[in-house]
Amino acid sequence: MTRSISYGLTLALLLSLACLACTTAAAQPPPPAFSRALSLRTLQSHLQRAANGEPRPQLLSLCGITHLTGYLEDRKNKDLILVGEVRDGAPALHTQDLAVALRAAWLKYATRQGNRLYYQNPGCSIDPHPAVIQQLKDLGDAAEAGAFETVDQQMQLWSQICSQPQNVRVMGVPGDSHFAKVMVDADYLMKQLVDGSVSLDIPGFASLTDASLAIARADLEKGAPPSLPALSLNRFWFYPGKPGFLDQDGLITIERCPVVLLTEEEHLTREGIEGKGKASPLAAAFAQSFSDHYPEIADRQPIYRELAGLFRLYALAKALRYQQVQADLSYLLTSFPVPATQVPRALPGLSRLTQLQAPRPAPGGYQTHGFWMPTCGGVAMDFDLGPANFTRAPRPTRAPARAKPSPTTASQPPAPTKSQVLKARPSPDALFWDLPAGR
């Protein structure tokens, strides 16, 4: 699960954490996309022939498909055909990620212990050790008791504690796969988005740290005591929204496969970090804002476009197994060599230090307020598909009138039909083919 822990402490100083500062350019309008079909039977055949050499780059990038939109069975040719979009500038999908998604859905990564089979959906987690949380809590208590002579001394110690390594765990897929790396990189960036060390300049989207700072600033300016809790620990994780598939006479379209951010408030116990079963209002507002702005965030940070691509590939794999497709996927399921990718087993904790003072007189000077937001996180691709996820499209009684494209939809290729995909195929052994515009 992708989690991010926020932690509030009343100190003699207003702190928030994170050490990297980075801004990204404003998103540009995406170039027009077009549709492409890809034969998995032919792809596997080409990959198998190239097993002892270097496969052509297009074989390793699903022939340039950047966004998966659906699939169909070509039973005449004993084939499974993927349909997707190709957009210049967008990261192409990876054949190795498709292989990993299929193997995860077919329980190839499950382990057997006795008569039991243990299985996990793909996911990752980056967690600070509970002892680090306790050290920071103790530091906050010491600061409140006036144990530090200078603010700099306190901030230096705070930063040292925060930078301690956090453990990286990968579940359900090989820990040295590109699939795993995308999840871990997306999660680590999430920490920086939560604490505001990475700024995206998206109207209406603010980091959890900045939202907390605004509340603290308003409290201090009004001369009111801090309204933020003395201790607030929150977990965030990426999770699939309800996926939806539309069956249009044999062409299965992925109508929706959203990536959403969930949150839960936690607390530190003797056993470690445990959930409370509820979300704090501030953390819930951030999670909802992230989910609402996910497409804009992905435009500015391509790792989230890649993460969404993984969610769609795994949703596809789960759907294929659920529908018991008859096409031969054996090479991707068992023999295709998934290359090793370096994925860290630990990552340094992040710290962003910010001081805020409000002109509120207090004995010996001014009153200030401080808090810290460490983050732990992960990704959880818990897809549980059933009949409710599949809808059969009604057959039209007459050809529908073609709607006039709007400025926001003009660049999207119209959805093809199964017959259009099969008719456009140049030969039974074609690897991929582009679908003509204006269908």
Highest mean pLDDT among 80-89, 124-133, 208-217: 80-89
Highest mean pLDDT among 128-132, 343-347, 382-386: 343-347
Beta-bridge mates of residue 169: 125
Any idea where the domains of the chain sit in the sequence?
Answer: 63-394
DSSP type of residue 389: G
- Helix, strand, coil share of the chain (percent; to 5): 35, 25, 45
Regarding beta strands 165-171 and 346-348, do their DSSP bridges make them parallel or antiparallel, or are they unpaired?
A: antiparallel
DSSP type of residue 372: B
Task: Tell me the per-residue pLDDT of 326-380, one tens digit each, with 9 for 90 and over.
Answer: 999 999 999 999 999 999 999 988 766 665 555 555 555 544 444 555 444 668 8
Structure token pair of residue 358: 């409000």
Taking 90 as the threshold, does the pLDDT of residue 246 lie above it? yes
Highest mean pLDDT among 125-134, 298-307, 354-363: 298-307
pLDDT value of residue 138: 80
Say how far apart CA 425 and CA 428 lie, in whole Å.
7
Highest mean pLDDT among 86-90, 265-269, 334-338: 334-338
Given pLDDT bands bounded at 50, 70 and 90, which one contains residue 416?
Answer: confident
CB 27 within 8 A of CB 300: yes
Mean pLDDT over 258-283 rounds to 71
Taking 90 as the threshold, does the pLDDT of residue 133 lie above it? no
Task: Tell me the per-residue pLDDT of 398-411, one tens digit each, with 9 for 90 and over.
Answer: 444 444 443 333 35
Beta-bridge mates of residue 9: none
**Mean pLDDT value across the chain:** 80
Structure token pair of residue 350: 């992040």
Percent of the chain with pLDDT over 70: 75
DSSP string across 281-332: HHHHHHHHHHHHTHHHHHHH-HHHHHHHHHHHHHHHHHHHHHTT--S--HII
pLDDT value of residue 29: 55
Residue at token pair 């259009």: 420
Neighbours of 41 (CB within 10 A): 20
